[in-house]
């Protein structure tokens, strides 16, 4: 008799309709372990049941793409038989509940996605967002998350080279932690998760299994409320030193032609890794849990299948290479156990203590999992124009914007990350993108993470296009050709039509931008239900991009402005103040009319700037984004400890030209002897440009009467977060 109460299913986040579907599939009352397996595999986090339909619309192809979405990470070709493997994932809910371990295990998990595919991690990035700086919990969360990111990455020995941090009231009850990792391998050493070979051994390697993280995937697929702290036991506990040993052992074994398939045990642990491997190979898998290494006694089958203990992998090995593999892991003092075999049944069968604890056709967990085409609505948006005061004082405005939460220096944060370990990082922290040299070559990789949530909240499609475009500009600004992107799509409850509508528009925006810019999506992650007590975060589709510098020789004499350099702006004069940082700072709100994104102009301007850098015509380059031209210029002169004098700007245009956030624009500096070559090239391409001033020694000077010293600019820019974090209250 089929008789388990609805309460049992609801406690596993399985609704009534899903229960009926499950029972129809199984034709019997499922065991407790089977319900647990269904609950995690059908969770939003694992099944993408609200987003899968729409994700298929993304642009994922390109001649540079070796592997697009669907594997542990995306793979792109960088020539010379080398490949870059990269991905971004969220660890939002765990980091809100337990900020240190949540962030740390997010870093550990994304690294495993990379070396699972055969790449040695060479760089870490992150995009983190918190509530208002004045909010009671922000200081605690910021401190814990930053410590967790730094603590894990620093211990494993992977440099954290770039990222972004933002603050907004919408994150008061739900901070975001998006972690990205970039790795390097050769094209002939890329490993996939597709299992094959009936009878081949299934091997567990890595740390022992415990009770930490049980139902982590399910927790990450739901909203928060005032009782969210009760979820603390679902947060995993990481060990970076165990991760380092596992990494080295896996990479060594990958050189010995022993691995058929390999999968990280991430969300849903042993369940998801075994199911996904078998599903991709269209085979069955049998697991004997009696052989699982455990760190606690009397773990049940349910606990072992759902545990999200960290630093673990599942492999299918060539039978004749099993002993070789065992010796490799013994050398690195990493647990190794044969825990199952590949079968022809197309089922997952779980054995424990001589009993069959689960026997489920894999297709019920994957292909036949629920897919929802959530309701969307037509939005009748009426643009709200900026209502800025007419008597804004320029000097005050510059200093206030530089001292605002989303513009100010994040030095307090990135100083806690080791960015020089491995000795391949080529640029300073805090620049448009991080640059890491490819050892024994003249090549380097540039990487960036970008999104402007207030744009996305105001207009989801425009905001998504802008996020892709800004990532493109940041990579261009470092002299790299943009190659591909990953994403982390952070949204609220998809069951709300207005949020699902924004999700769909976001997909459309990313698709359109990536097509025009030849910047395909090769990997990514969706994080939904980011809200507390019904209050969602602002739409935050974070874009992580990777670009290639073919010859690092172009970076010689590039990256710093020099006294006497001419300052040019590429692109049209600033004018758009709606939805701007200035508006946010002065009005404590944001209108719903973000700047237009002309993708074709973005491409033309970017390609021209890249050529100018490659031809060594430009001394330095900085994209114009948040805060407009004046913020880009101030960041440049603060970094290089210099000054600038701007050409006369009409008073009635001063605010708009300084703070307007129009897109497709760059600030560049050029030595006098290269001005002619620059202007000839820019005119040939038909691109708008303007000589806006020149580099001086120590102060910012605007229209003769506005003078701000470099030290005053620097103090405003760098003081906010240290003052908040050092406050004992």
**Which residues are annotated as catalytic?**
45, 91
Residue 702's SS3 state is strand
- CB burial of residue 344 (10 Å; 0-12, 13-18, 19+): exposed
Dist CA 565 CA 558 (whole Å) = 13
User: Which residues have a Cβ under 8 Å from the Cβ of 689 and sit 6 or more positions away?
Assistant: 568, 569, 570, 571, 679, 682
Token readout for 305 is: 């299948």
Q: Which helix (H) or strand (E) holds 264?
A: strand 259-264
Query: 542: how many CB neighbours lie within 10 A of its CB?
Result: 29
User: Which residues have a Cβ under 8 Å from the Cβ of 698 and sit 6 or more positions away?
Assistant: 642, 643, 709, 710
Q: Give how far Cα 364 sits from Cα of 24, 314, 360, Å.
A: 10, 21, 7
Sign of the Cα torsion 223, 506, 631, 650 reads negative
Q: Give how far Cα 683 sits from Cα of 570, 614, 677, 686, 689, Å.
A: 11, 18, 10, 5, 9
User: Which residues have a Cβ under 8 Å from the Cβ of 336 and sit 6 or more positions away?
Assistant: 203, 204, 205, 325, 326, 329, 330
- The HSE-up count of residue 638 (CA atoms within 13 Å, CB side) is 23
Residue 451's SS3 state is coil
User: Which residues have a Cβ under 8 Å from the Cβ of 294 and sit 6 or more positions away?
Assistant: 208, 209, 210, 304
Assess contact for 276 and 40: CB atoms under 8 A.
no
């Amino acid at each position: 008799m089929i008789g388990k109460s609805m309460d049992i299913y609801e406690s596993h986040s399985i609704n009534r309709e899903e229960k009926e579907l499950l029972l129809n599939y199984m034709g019997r009352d499922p065991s407790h372990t089977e319900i647990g397996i269904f609950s995690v595999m059908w969770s939003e986090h694992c099944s993408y049941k609200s987003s899968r339909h729409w994700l298929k619309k993304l642009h994922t192809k390109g001649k540079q793409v070796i592997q697009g979405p669907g594997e542990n990470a995306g793979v792109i070709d960088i020539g010379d038989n080398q490949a870059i493997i990269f991905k971004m994932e969220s660890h939002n809910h765990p980091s809100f509940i337990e900020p240190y371990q949540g962030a740390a295990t997010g870093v550990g998990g994304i690294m495993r996605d990379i070396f699972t595919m055969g790449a040695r991690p060479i760089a870490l990035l992150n995009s983190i967002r918190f509530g208002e700086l004045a909010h009671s919990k922000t200081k605690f969360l910021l401190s814990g998350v930053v410590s967790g990111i730094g603590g894990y990455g620093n211990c494993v020995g992977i440099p954290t080279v770039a990222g972004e941090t933002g603050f907004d009231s919408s994150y008061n009850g739900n901070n975001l932690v998006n972690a990205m990792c970039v790795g390097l391998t050769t094209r002939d050493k890329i490993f996939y998760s597709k299992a094959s070979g009936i009878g081949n051994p299934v091997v567990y390697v890595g740390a022992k299994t415990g009770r930490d993280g049980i139902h982590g995937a399910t927790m990450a697929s739901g909203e928060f409320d005032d009782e969210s702290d009760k979820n603390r036991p679902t947060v995993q506990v990481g060990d970076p030193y165990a991760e380092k040993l596992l990494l080295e052992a896996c990479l060594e074994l990958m050189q010995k032609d022993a691995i058929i398939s390999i999968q990280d045990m991430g969300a849903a642990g042993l369940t998801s890794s075994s199911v996904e491997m078998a599903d991709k190979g269209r085979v069955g898998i049998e697991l004997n849990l009696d052989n699982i290494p455990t760190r606690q006694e009397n773990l049940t089958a349910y606990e072992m299948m759902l545990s999200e203990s960290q630093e673990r992998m599942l492999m299918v090995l060539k039978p004749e290479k099993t002993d070789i593999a065992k010796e490799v892991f013994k050398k690195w003092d990493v647990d190794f156990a044969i825990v199952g075999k590949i079968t022809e049944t197309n089922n997952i069968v779980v054995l424990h203590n001589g009993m069959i604890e689960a026997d489920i056709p894999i297709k019920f967990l994957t292909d036949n999992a629920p897919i929802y085409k959530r309701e969307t609505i037509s939005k009748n948006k009426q643009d709200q124009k900026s209502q800025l005061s007419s008597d804004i004082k320029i000097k005050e405005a510059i200093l206030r914007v530089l001292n605002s939460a989303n513009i100010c220096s994040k030095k307090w944060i990135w100083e806690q990350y080791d960015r020089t370990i491995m000795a391949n990082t080529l640029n300073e922290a805090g620049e448009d993108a991080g640059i890491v040299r490819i050892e024994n070559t003249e090549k380097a990789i540039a990487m960036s993470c970008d999104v402007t949530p207030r744009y996305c909240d105001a207009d989801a499609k425009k905001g998504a296009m802008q996020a892709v475009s800004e990532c493109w500009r940041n990579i261009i600004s470092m002299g790299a050709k943009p190659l591909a992107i990953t994403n982390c799509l952070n949204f609220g409850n998809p069951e709300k039509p207005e949020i699902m509508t924004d999700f769909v528009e976001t997909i459309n925006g990313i698709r359109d931008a990536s097509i025009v810019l030849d910047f395909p999506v090769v990997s990514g992650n969706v994080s939904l239900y980011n809200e507390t007590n019904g209050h969602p975060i602002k739409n935050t589709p974070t874009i992580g991009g990777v670009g290639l510098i073919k010859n690092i020789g172009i970076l010689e004499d590039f990256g710093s402005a020099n006294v006497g350099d001419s300052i040019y702006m590429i692109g049209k004069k600033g004018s758009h103040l709606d939805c701007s940082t200035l508006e946010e700072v002065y009005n404590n709100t944001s209108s719903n009319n973000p700047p237009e994104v002309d993708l074709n102009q973005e491409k033309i301007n970017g390609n021209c700037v890249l050529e100018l850098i490659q031809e060594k015509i430009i001394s330095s380059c900085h994209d114009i984004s948040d805060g407009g031209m004046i913020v880009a210029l101030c960041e440049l002169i603060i970094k290089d400890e210099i000054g600038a004098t701007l050409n006369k700007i009409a008073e009635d245009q001063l605010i708009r030209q300084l703070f307007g956030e129009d897109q497709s624009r760059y600030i560049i500096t050029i030595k006098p002897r290269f001005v002619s070559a620059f202007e000839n090239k820019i005119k040939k391409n038909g691109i708008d440009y303007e000589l806006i001033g020149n580099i001086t020694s120590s102060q910012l000077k605007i229209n003769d009467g506005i003078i701000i010293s470099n030290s005053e600019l620097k103090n405003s820019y760098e003081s906010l977060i240290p003052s908040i974090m050092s406050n004992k209250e």
